[in-house]
Structure 1
Amino acid sequence: MLPRSLILAACLAATSTVLPAAAGELLGPGVISTGLQETSAALTPDGRTLYFMRSDFAEADDTVMVSQLAGGRWSTPRVAAFSGQWHDSEPALSPDGRRLYFVSNRPPQPEAAPVTAAMNGHTFPGTNLWVVERQAGGGWSAPIHVDGALNDGAMIYNPTVAANGDVYFSAHRPDSGKAYQIYVARDHGHAAPERLPLGDLEHNRMDPAIDPQGRFLLYAGNEGDALGSADIYIVFRQPDGGWGKPEHLGGDVNSRVLENAPSLGAAFGELLVSSARRDEVSFPKPRDDAATLQRRLQSPLNGSRNLWRFDISAVLRAHGVAPPAGAPAGA
């Protein structure tokens, strides 16, 4: 188990506002969302191509996958062209779809060793930030290492990119406190990271998702009122350019299990979240045979993390955030 997962524990803090959201739906049951771990969704601007991470329960073997939507159905996912050899995870597309960022333990230079990290006595695959660029023929370039101070600590996670090229991410750095905080590195990730002043450093804040215009930020954490080990929060940009108080998303977005890795979809207010929610089992249950037991234990809602889609357009409008002219309707 990676230390990053271990630190998603409850922390003490003041209660924050609860904001409602529309009921969610499982994304691509049995195709995208399976009995394995799926997280970190990245949708292209047209909403027709999905990149995401798939791994085992221990998250020891992470790979970036891709699927296309056609006729209302997602295609069988395949390994993305730039993934499949290293511990690759957490893809994130730039708002124009021309750049895809991800993190990986692959060597930062030829002949170098794979990236490793250590925390609390654990050694595990580290992560640096990489990017691939869309080519004229429609494919991706070879992965390019993002040279900059954001890669100094070998523990960078869940990049997310604003329209101006600012890269937000979570990391454990010297000024993070006990665990992880959210940072921004301007100039497409090359500038020195700046920690976002979101509150007490006793609280873990991870997996940011930035609005392309920088008007709000979603993240996973626990500000003292989380239902599970981590919930999804939203924070809005203030008139002075700073950030407001984190607000807990209500409705079905959060549950009593782990929610993390939020990302924004193609439609206004479309929110994609990784969740470990499962079907409840009551006893005595209808007697299983080997086939029914295996089918249930391998189903998407077996306690593995899956991808869920929600609509938070009402939350955004309530805070004065409107869709750009010509944008698709809510999810």
Structure 2
Amino acid sequence: LLMVAAPVAAAGGHSPAAVQPWTPAGVSSGLFESHAAFDPVNGDLYFVRSSKSFSGWRILTSHCDGKAWTPPLPPSFAGAGLEADPWFTPDGRSLYFISSRANAGMRSKDLDIWRVDRNADGRWGTPVRLPSPVNSNEAEWFPRPAPDGWLYFGSNRPGGAGKNDIWRARESAPGQWTVENVTAVNTAGNEYEPLPSPDGRRMIVMADGGLYESRLGPGGWSARVKLGQQVNVNGSEIGALFSPSGKSLLFARDTGEPKSGEFLVWHADGNESWPPSCGAALKGS
């Protein structure tokens, strides 16, 4: 299980698992890379690249050609405006993301949740904006489906505990959604990004100060607890991704000059071979 990291040696004299850079050649750059997702169908890497100051977000994708990751390019469904937070359904047939693109000819004033489905030939179709009440008149962030059927996301809509909160939505019938606030993990501050674990029993939350963890019990989600100093170095930690086993966590951190935002991996429960490598050895690792 992914345990809360501690800055001191764990019980039994063993040191906590180390956080290591993940800097694949062709993907890592002098700009800010974050929010990775691997396509379950073909293994392609989708991620967000932005300026060094974490602005101008765009989704890019890279393919492993057997030797190296190919130069990142926008996916076929890319639109105008800001786009970020890609996430695949387990079968790879759909991808959720956020976008400020226009909808039905109307320019968006903020970021909304969109979904794009694969056609029968495996290519991406036309993205569709999720309806109200999933999307609101305010910004939505980081849509992440959970094994229990809920779609978790962040939003600064009214009715929450503070500023940005974690919410979840469930589709009871085609186009009919119920939305509720995940009150246990929210505070008077900001909670932006919810990441349910593959087994649905844990959730990583990106909030003010970095990454936190909540656990699901008989009474629902627990209050969030901040991960330790190995993970949370400067409070800029963002865009977490569990390995399929749930034993490791990939995330990004603003490491400052000259690299800006870089990927890091935390093998919290054994040194599993993940994230997937591609061809030649990873640059800088």
TM range (shorter): 0.7 to 0.9
Are residue 277 (structure 1) and residue 255 (structure 2) matched?
yes
Partner of 1:121: none
Is the counterpart of residue 237 in structure 1 residue 216 in structure 2? yes
1:127 equivalenced with 2:94 (yes/no): no
Instruction: Determine which of 99, 104, 122 is the counterpart of 2:99.
Output: 104
String of CA shifts for 1:153-176, please: whole Å, max 9, x gaps.
Answer: 230011111235421001101122
User: Structure 1: where are the runs of 5+ without partners?
Assistant: 1-16, 117-125, 223-229, 279-296, 315-327
Q: Does 1:305 align with 2:247?
A: no
Aligned to 2:281: none
Q: TM-score, normalised by structure 1?
A: 0.71
CA RMSD of aligned residues (A): 2.6
> Aligned pair 1:183/2:179, yes or no?
no
Matched, 1:203 2:182: no
- Counterpart residue number, 1:325: none
Which amino acid in 2 is paired with 1:115?
S
CA distance in 1, matches of 2:222, 2:251: 22
Give 3-state SS (helix, strand or coil) of 2:33's partner.
strand
Corresponding residue to 1:263 among 241, 244, 248 = 241
Q: C-alpha deviations, 1:20-53, integer Å up to 9, x for none?
A: 5622332335532221122211122378221111
Give 1:141 deviation, angstroms: 1.0
Which residue among 133, 149, 154 is the counterpart of 1:149? Answer: 133
TM-score when normalising by structure 2: 0.81
Do 1:32 and 1:77's aligned partners in 2 also have CA atoms closer than 8 Å? yes
Deviation at 1:190, TM superposition (A): 5.0
Contact 2:212/2:225, CA 8 A, preserved across alignment: yes
1:41-71 CA distances to partner (integer Å, 9 max, x unpaired)?
1122378221111112344422110112344
More helix by share: 1
Percent identity between the aligned chains?
26
Kindly indicate whether the alpha-carbon contact (under 8 Å) linking 1:168 and 1:182 is maintained by their aligned counterparts in 2. Answer: yes
C-alpha contact 1:43 1:51 (8 A) present in aligned 2: yes
Partners of 1:47 and 1:266 within 8 A in 2: no
Q: What is the distance in 2 between the residues matched to 1:208 and 1:160?
A: 7
Pairs within 5 Å for 1:286-301 = 299-300=258-259
Q: Distance in 1 between matches of 2:206 and 2:20?
A: 19
Contact 1:261–1:274 at 8 Å: present in 2 too? yes
1:27 aligns with 2:22: yes
From the superposition, tell whether residues 167 and 19 of structure 1 become closer, same or farther in structure 2 (CA, over 3 Å): same
The verdict on how the C-alpha distance between 1:74 and 1:115 changes in structure 2, with shifts beyond 3 A counting, is same
In the alignment, which residue of structure 2 is the partner of 1:53?
A: 48
> Structure 2: which 5+ residue stretches go unaligned?
7-15, 276-285
What amino acid maps onto 2:147 in structure 1?
Answer: A
Say if 1:153 and 1:22 are closer, same or farther in 2 by CA, change over 3 A. Answer: farther
Aligned-partner Cα distance in 2 for 1:239–1:220: 23
Distance, in Å, in 2 between the alignment partners of 1:190 and 1:78 is 35
> What residue identity is the alignment partner of 2:192?
M
- CA shift for structure 1 position 100: 0.5
Query: 3-state DSSP class of the match of 1:234?
Result: strand
The residue number in structure 1 matching 2:61 is 66
Q: Is the 8 A contact 1:206 1:219 kept in 2?
A: yes
